Structure 1
Amino acid sequence: MRAKFLLTAVGVAIALAFSGCSAPSPTATGGPVRVVASTNVYGDIAKQIGGDRVRVDSIISNPAQDPHSFEADAQVQLAISKANLVIENGGGYDDFVGTLLTGANNAGAKVVNATTISGYDQAGTFNEHLWYDFPTVKKVVAKLVSTLSSLDPAGAETFAANGTTLAGQLGVLEAGEASLKSSFQGDGVAITEPVPLYLLEASGFTNKTPASFSAAIEQGTDVSPVVLKQTLSLFTDHAVKLLAYNEQTSSAETQQVLAAAKRAGVAVVPFTETLPSGTSYVRWMTDNLATLKAALQ
């Protein structure tokens, strides 16, 4: 599986230049817990739990940034070197985090890895877009509550209360999926990439897309003419009710698929990998579910 974010040779050199740095404990300084998240998705979740008792830096935060072409810079490495807590998705999605941590020589930082927490078996096919899987996000929330409490015991009550609130909101999102499932159980869906697939499957949809198509799009490789034809036939044959596409990445093949869906009158719903500006994780996912429901009605 290709790592989604790339750490360039320049980034490695920067990492080595910062070796020797280590973050002071928040209890020693009296300041907030320094948190670095690989994306603003996990950054927002940490902020919702930590409130004013955390300072959060998200490495990927610009919704216009193509996550596939990320390059680390000195500011990123400095944040890593000072972090008390680092949150990564894992599963091959953001491997650059481990490289940067090693370069920063910040062995004292606590690391929360969503893939490790998820419990999914990675031996087979594994969809690493775990922030679209609400049961995993609940586990991440619980882990962040306990980890932040160990770093800042005085804030434990605050972290627990905020974590409970967030878990309840995630429960509402799961109920939204269940409501969609009651109406669309077994209906076919096409995807350009497996970004929202956890949410779609929990909402009752069956992915009809040839695996080699979505894999090629995700990896940035060419789609064979045969596979492209099979994918386009999903729309001409009316085998799917919905096309879910990643609007942060585009190619000639995805544009053909998008055009075919529109010609066939198939509902089209865009999804993103990172949190849009000016919103929260829960609001973002609430809007995703509402958009999905509206498109199908």
Structure 2
Amino acid sequence: MRGVSARTPGVVLGLSLALVCAGGGPGYAAPSPIPVVASTNVYGDLVRQVGGGRVAVVSIIRDPAQDPHSYEASTRTQLQLSRAQVVVENGGGYDEFVGRMLRSSDNSSAEVIDAVKVSGMEPNVAGEFNEHVWYDLPTMGRLADRIAQALGRVSPADADAFRKNAQVFKDELAGLEARTDRIEARRAGTSVAVTEPVPLYLTEACGLVNKTPAAFSEAVEEGDEVPPRVLRETLDLFTGRHVQALVYNEQTSGPQTEKVRKAAEENRIPVVPVTETLPQGKDYLGWMTDNITALDRALER
């Protein structure tokens, strides 16, 4: 399936031509791009797909090898946030550095978009919440609309183009949702394991059941030591072949998650690698297409 990024040059060109025509004549200077700061390149990519050539986006976390949980703010990032007219953050405690920097930047005019709030999701009865909402495809569709609205308030003349770009993105997203529905139709109830809760919205959309002990994935996510008993229970999922795939967060691995990965490989259980930020050279739709394809192939082995 072709991603939105393949269409982007046309969108950007359309915006540019419209601006030239509106200016009418020599000496016309196109308006400056809207400065936008996103907490990660996942949201930065979404802004670019909606904003086309009318946005200048800075993504704070963009290195797949960088752990977003341990990010330390820089003076340069602080300056970029102080100039932003729109800020997109994940929220839910994932990227708290954005709020801290905004409070110290004295930028009260920026419109801040919180993806967790846009999702409309709430903690469960135990007060637990999976903040990795970019793996929830419907949330990303709603977020595209929300970004289009925010950009349209900054540049009303381009509001219609922003809305159309958001719709193009959502149309492509619908194709991915149809793929997860087809996996669910074939594989609903299939047991899998994860190293962290990162991909759970996607695995749940595919109808898969997470069998990982909660204490294991919680300890890994928090950077804590996994208790020996919990580690044994987790390894037993693979030695006993109680799961059909391991979805493994490559971005925050350590000795205990490596033991789990090795156990899966030794017992010929497919490992599906995932990350928290975009791999180099990928846009959001291409990235999610790859994730869904890898998961589908693993379940068919």
Same fold (TM over 0.5): yes
Distance 2:123 2:112 in 1: 19
Q: Distance in 2 between matches of 1:65 and 1:72?
A: 13
1:103 deviates by 0.6
Return the letter of the residue paired with 1:54. V
Q: Is it true that 1:147 corresponds to 2:150 in the alignment?
A: yes
**Aligned length, in residue pairs:** 269
User: 1:214 is matched by which residue type in structure 2?
Assistant: S
Q: Does 1:92 align with 2:93?
A: yes
Aligned to 2:290: 287
Equivalent position of 1:5 in the other structure: none
The one of 236, 260, 280 equivalent to 2:239 is 236
Which residues in structure 2 correspond to 1:47-126 (within 5 Å)? 47-122=48-123, 124-126=127-129
1:214 matches 2:232: no
- Amino acid in structure 2 at the alignment position of 1:37: A
TM-score, normalising length: structure 2: 0.88
Q: Please, what is the CA RMSD of the aligned residues?
A: 1.1
Instruction: Name the CA distance, whole Å, in 1 between partners of 2:123 and 2:182.
Output: 29
* 2:104 alignment partner AA: G
Matches within 5 A, 1:162-173: 162-173=165-176
Distance, in Å, in 2 between the alignment partners of 1:75 and 1:183 is: 49
Structure 1 runs of 4+ with >6 Å offset: none
Secondary structure class of the residue paired with 1:57? strand
Q: Distance in 1 between matches of 2:97 and 2:70?
A: 12
What are structure 2's unaligned runs of at least 5 residues? Answer: 1-29
CA distance in 2, matches of 1:35, 1:165: 21
Alignment-derived partner of residue 30 in structure 1:
31
Q: How many angstroms does 1:261 deviate by?
A: 0.6
Deviation of the 1:295 alpha carbon = 2.1
Tell me the distance in 2 between the aligned counterparts of 1:256 and 1:65: 21
Aligned residue type for 1:267:
P
Which consecutive residues of structure 1, in runs of 5 or more, have no partner in the other structure? 1-28
Distance 2:92 2:69 in 1: 15
**Structure 2 CA distance for aligned equivalents of residues 100 and 170 of structure 1:** 32
Give CA-to-partner distance per residue, 1:115-155, whole Å, 9 cap, x none: 11111113621100000001111111111111111111011
Q: What is the 5 A alignment of 1:121-270?
A: 121-122=122-123, 124-270=127-273
Residues in 1 aligned to 2:93 and 2:280: alpha-carbon distance in whole angstroms: 25
Between the aligned partners of 1:66 and 1:98, the Cα distance in structure 2 is 18
